[in-house]
Amino acid sequence: MSRFILYLPECDSVMMDGVKPYVGSKKEVTWTLNNEVVHPKKYELRPATFLRNWAKKQVKLEQDRNNRPYRFSPGFPDFRYVAPKGQKKYLLIVGDGNVANSGSIVKDFDTQAEAYTLAHRSIKGLTKAFPKFGYYIFNTESREYSDRIINSGESTGGA
Question: How many beta carbons lie within 10 A of that of residue 50, not counting itself?
Answer: 16
User: In the chain, which ranges are E strands?
Assistant: 4-8, 13-14, 16-17, 20-21, 44-47, 90-96, 104-109, 133-139, 144-149
Say whether pTM exceeds 0.75: no
Question: How many beta carbons lie within 10 A of that of residue 90, not counting itself?
Answer: 23
Domain extents for the chain?
A: 4-67, 69-159
Summarised one tens digit per residue, pLDDT across range 48-82 is: 889 888 888 888 888 887 777 778 888 777 788 88
pLDDT attached to residue 154? 55
